[in-house]
Structure 1
Amino acid sequence: MAIKEIHKVAVIGSGSMGHQIAMLCSLGGFETHIQDLEQDALNQAKEQLEKHMNKWIQKEKITEIKKDEAFARLHMTTSLEDAVRNADLVIEAVVEKLDVKREVFSKLDGLVPEHTILATNSSTIVNSKLAEFTTRPDRVLNMHFFYPPLVMDCVEVVMSEQTSKETAQTALEFCDRIGRTGVLLEKEIYGFIANRLLFAISKEALYLYEEGYADFKDIDLITKKALKHPIGPFELMDLSGIDVGYYGNMQLYQETGDPKDKPAKSVEDKVKAGNLGRKTGKGWYDYT
């Protein structure tokens, strides 16, 4: 499928990633539908997008007319069937749990046209684990956007052994159309590129903290001052969601059985307490 054949896009999940990915698609000129199980979640997504676009207007990144046109192309629904009907590209952005994503892909495969590309925004789960629950493994791939998608200019486009070159090329061209730099990974690997680098830093930071070498705030400070990172590893966990990293680690541990791949105890404690970072008001830091 060539990029000129993509007209309608559906994004499944209206959370912190999903609603911003959908807005990028709409701003890129595509008819875009966001689906979520909860109407309240969709209402919150619309409210957040209004705030983002109003800020863009203030900064003269977009005009009032362009904003109105984008919202006119953006549709929200709780019906999966309505969202994906006649969709040319579906981007899944639900919770980072393999069983949930497999259920979604299985449903999508039976609802969308034969030509439709199914993409997962997963930051850790390789698409071949989802493609096997469809009849179109050649049209399944990862399109991993980075948080927050309206700001971050990168999308990891990941092929499995069965993903066709045409599918990958279409995804890369689509990224260009929505103003994002698509980077192709021709082989699957857990965590892809960026997150594997971040995982290594995060894992070492958690080790140093839990072993009492330094407070997490000081580890963040050293990372920013000495290594010139814009934010520290603990601040980054709060920004992206502590639960996202936790579920990613759990998925890896289930695959390898290696105790070293289990989430750190301090991370597990925060997930159990519901302190997931900025989105809950408290994580490593307090945002209340």
Structure 2
Amino acid sequence: MQPNADGVSRVLVCGAGAMGSGIGAVFALAGYETTVQDIDEGMLGKAHEELRSRLDRNVEKGRMSPQQVEDAFSKLSFTTEIEEPARSADLVVEAIVEKLAVKRELFSRLDGAAPEHAILATNSSTIVSSRVADVTSRPDRVCNLHFFNPALVMECVEVVRNPETSDATVDTVVEVSRRIGKEPVILEREISGFVANRILGALTDEAVSLYESGVASFEDIDTACKKALGHPIGPFALMDLTGIDVNYYVRTARYEETGDESQKPKESIVERFERGEYGRKSGKGWYEYR
């Protein structure tokens, strides 16, 4: 049975961090029966609380109605179990830690539990889907579906096929992306970082290099990007939003893949990562948060 967009009604999102919970909310708001799964019960509780707060703020600002929020939460469930929701899923979106071994283990479990027609997608923009597809019996139904943070706000998604991804899978994921209000960008071949993050990565690298060489403070570099270039947020504030730990893992994975020393995490990133200063999620990164 080939996948198709009309056959997608139940979605499983693995990972209840900022990305996973946001992705789950996007699907639920679009009317899909959605389960957000995480191994950490505390993360699930936090995700539920933060989503409720965020959507309630949208109601207060007139961006959505109270009924829309209630309808979304009626479609949204949270669990630490994985096999049970996978058994009824038509589409799975993995949004867990950026560690290849962990992702491969998860995809193997999902492949064993999910129905034959189900598409298994990874939200990763660093680990291409061919690196997890080979542990499944369905590499033609595996791809990258990359959302941008915050998933509830950002309109773009990147859909990336691996060498074995079928046209039916790509077409289905593209159409589902449109149905949840996103604008899909299709990559016909795999490349680490995809399109948007490769461009953003070049800017971030230059920003950190300017800071580390003492040219300007990170605050002033952020100001230059916002006031001179018109960016909505500076690169350092953006790192805090997406997670300095994510930057560290992404660059580490890219270095391991390429062997290119320039791809290693920058020294100031490593220092903050080792201190547990991950950004907004930890209360401190480049900036402090209360």
Deviation at 1:83, TM superposition (A): 2.1
> 147, 167, 170: which is aligned to 1:168?
170
The aligned runs of 1:112-191 (5 Å cut-off) are 112-191=114-193
Alignment match, 1:192: 194
Alignment match, 1:82: 84
Asked if the contact 1:34–1:83 (Cα under 8 Å) also holds between the matched residues in 2, the reply is no
Partner Cα separation in structure 2 for residue 79 and residue 226 of structure 1: 48
Alignment match, 2:44: 42
| Most deviating of 23-32 and 50-59 | 50-59
Partner Cα separation in structure 1 for residue 232 and residue 64 of structure 2: 26
How many equivalent pairs are there?
Answer: 288
> Do residues 274 (structure 1) and 281 (structure 2) align?
no
Q: Which amino acid aligns with 1:47?
A: E
Cα shift readout 1:233-273 (whole Å, capped 9, x = no counterpart): 11111111111111111001111212111111110010000
RMSD: 1.0
Q: Percent identity?
A: 51
Cα shift readout 1:71-113 (whole Å, capped 9, x = no counterpart): 1111111101122121100000101111111111111111101
Q: Which amino acid aligns with 1:99?
A: A
> Do residues 62 (structure 1) and 64 (structure 2) align?
yes
> Do residues 246 (structure 1) and 262 (structure 2) align?
no
Deviation at 1:225, TM superposition (A): 2.0
Partner Cα separation in structure 1 for residue 153 and residue 181 of structure 2: 11
> 20, 23, 42: which is aligned to 1:21?
23
Deviation at 1:153, TM superposition (A): 0.5
Q: Which amino acid aligns with 2:82?
A: L
Asked if the contact 1:157–1:185 (Cα under 8 Å) also holds between the matched residues in 2, the reply is yes
Residue segments in structure 1 that go unaligned for 5+ positions in a row: none
Partner Cα separation in structure 2 for residue 268 and residue 199 of structure 1: 16
> 203, 208, 225: which is aligned to 1:201?
203
> 223, 232, 236: which is aligned to 1:230?
232
Partner Cα separation in structure 1 for residue 85 and residue 276 of structure 2: 31
Residue segments in structure 2 that go unaligned for 5+ positions in a row: none
Deviation at 1:70, TM superposition (A): 1.3
Partner Cα separation in structure 2 for residue 211 and residue 68 of structure 1: 50
Q: Which amino acid aligns with 1:163?
A: T
Deviation at 1:65, TM superposition (A): 2.0
